[in-house]
């Protein structure tokens, strides 16, 4: 029962209602506290082993113990978070390799937690003798500077800095509306009607330019500037495999740029974007999709509306890591396709239907937990600070896990 409650991500009041409504007995408050202490140790050990295995898998046969990571900060609360976790996932196997928890005891400002945690991550990797070949993250300028200012490794190599492509392009279509529409008195001054149909298409061009530049900053910038020539119906510099070069019957579907003012406005718009101004950060076309997905998967264990204390928070985070590392990139059983005639740009090949989770890590946790109890001849004694009885609050676990049987009465 204790294993089922602690591994499920249930909240204390949910456990109480389940037992009361089902007419089954509850584990005593003292035994639940003792179980959580021992169970937390078991989960932490399993999580460390899982991250070490993931790191060895990510390194593989690469010489010099080199790997590439993608990081992001996960805040425990939506505003002014007391805790943050900076997660590092492998760019190849997409598993959690390491993470750095940060609290306001270490760094008072929540906005600086990501930088503080990133520094801790690099300290961990340096202690393990692991070199970071490429570091992808959201466009955090402080982290950009930190990576670029890091000294080279002993073999002369440096960590390359990559920024997420989605964050760089997500607002392009919105920004483009300023040059594609406006008041009639400003026509030809701040906007031009020949640009009215190109917002979403320009955003797509940015993605294709980053994906096809081959790691060259010059090629990326030239590909972006070629957007202007493409809409002028001049395709000499377009990709050789693109339809505008291969199809002799190709006819542009967008308005052809014929006014020089429209050409200048489009070129100026492109040159103002971060992708053009900082091409070195986007030539590898990295994204933070998986680390964002991990942050979303954590919500089944760590609800942002709940303030968990240290032991309970660490237990739930380690469970999330074990769950993710076992099930990420599991095979799909089928694929569902939905075709939109009204918006064909949303037809992206369908959605994969993933196979059911195996949850083998839960079996390992249960067996290890029971073995520890048998070996010790029972549950461990509570620390001195935990022997006092916690005050039971009405719906108190909405703000904390401070019910009398959760670990919330921990001394901080």
pLDDT in tens, 273-325: 999 999 999 999 999 999 999 999 999 999 999 999 999 999 999 999 999 99
User: Which of these, 230, 220, 226, lies nearest to 275 by C-alpha position?
Assistant: 220
CA distance 403 to 412: 16
Contact predicate 163/286, CB 8 Å: yes
- Per-residue pLDDT band at 385 (split at 50, 70, 90): low
> What integer pLDDT is reported at residue 26 of this predicted model?
85
Distance CA 53, CA 57 (A): 6
Residue 387 confidence (pLDDT): 56
Q: What are the tokens at 291?
A: 């680390």
Phi, psi dihedrals of residue 88, rounded to the nearest 5°:
-120, 115
Q: Do 406 and 397 meet the contact criterion of CB atoms below 8 Å apart?
A: yes
> Which residues have a Cβ under 8 Å from the Cβ of 337 and sit 6 or more positions away?
349, 350, 351
How far does CA 79 lie from the centroid of its chain? 18
CA angle 363–365–370, rounded 5-degree value? 100
The DSSP code for 272 is T
Structure tokens at 272: 């103002």
Are the CB atoms for 340 and 346 separated by under 8 Å? yes
Q: Strand pairing partners for 160?
A: 134
Tell me: the pLDDT tens digits for 12-22?
A: 888 888 888 99
User: Two tokens at 95?
Assistant: 């598993």
Residue 57's pLDDT is 94
First to last CA, the chain: 28
pLDDT for 394: 36
| 9-13, 186-190, 196-200: least confident range | 9-13
**Is residue 233 helix, strand or coil?**
coil
With H, G, I as helix, E, B as strand and everything else as coil, classify residue 309: coil
For residue range 154-163, what is the model confidence (pLDDT) as tens digits?
Answer: 999 999 999 9
Tell me the C-alpha distance between 336 and 351, whole Å: 5
pLDDT, residue 386, reads 59
Q: What is the mean pLDDT of the chain?
A: 89
């Amino acid at each position: 029962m204790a294993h089922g409650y602690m591994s499920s991500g249930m909240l204390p009041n949910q456990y109480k209602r389940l037992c009361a409504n089902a007419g089954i007995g509850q584990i005593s408050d003292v035994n639940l506290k003792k179980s959580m202490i021992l169970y937390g140790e078991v989960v932490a050990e399993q999580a460390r082993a899982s991250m070490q295995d993931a790191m060895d898998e990510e390194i593989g046969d690469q010489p010099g113990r080199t790997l590439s990571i993608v990081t992001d900060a996960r805040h425990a609360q939506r505003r002014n978070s007391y805790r943050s976790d900076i997660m590092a996932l492998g760019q190849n196997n997409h598993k959690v390799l390491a993470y750095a928890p940060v609290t306001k005891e270490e760094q008072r400002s929540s906005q600086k937690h990501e930088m503080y945690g990133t520094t801790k991550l690099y300290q961990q990797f340096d202690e393990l003798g692991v070199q970071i070949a490429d570091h992808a993250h959201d466009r955090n300028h402080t982290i950009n500077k930190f990576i670029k200012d890091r000294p080279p490794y002993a073999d002369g190599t440096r960590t390359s800095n990559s920024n997420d492509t989605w964050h760089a392009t997500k607002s392009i279509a919105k920004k483009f509306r300023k040059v594609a529409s406006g008041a009639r008195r400003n026509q030809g001054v701040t906007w031009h009607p020949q640009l009215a149909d190109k917002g979403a298409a320009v955003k797509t061009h940015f993605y294709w330019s980053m994906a096809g530049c081959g790691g060259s900053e010059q090629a990326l910038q030239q590909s972006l500037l070629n957007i202007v020539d493409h809409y002028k119906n001049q395709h000499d510099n377009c990709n050789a495999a693109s339809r505008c070069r291969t199809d002799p019957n190709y006819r542009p579907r967008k308005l052809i740029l014929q006014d020089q003012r429209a050409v200048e406005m489009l070129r100026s718009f492109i040159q103002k974007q971060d992708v053009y101004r900082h091409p070195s950060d986007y030539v590898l076309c990295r994204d933070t999709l998986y680390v964002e997905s991990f942050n979303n998967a954590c919500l089944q264990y760590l609800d942002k509306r709940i303030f968990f204390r240290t032991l309970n928070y660490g237990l739930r985070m380690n469970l999330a890591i074990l769950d993710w590392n076992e099930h990420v990139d599991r095979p799909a059983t089928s694929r569902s396709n939905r075709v939109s005639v009204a918006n064909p740009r949303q037809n992206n090949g369908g959605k994969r239907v993933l196979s059911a989770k195996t949850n083998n890590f839960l079996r390992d946790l249960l067996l290890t937990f029971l073995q520890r109890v048998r070996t010790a001849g029972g549950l461990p004694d509570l620390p001195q600070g935990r022997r006092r009885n916690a005050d039971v609050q009405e719906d108190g676990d909405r703000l904390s896990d401070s019910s009398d049987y959760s670990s919330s009465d921990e001394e901080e």
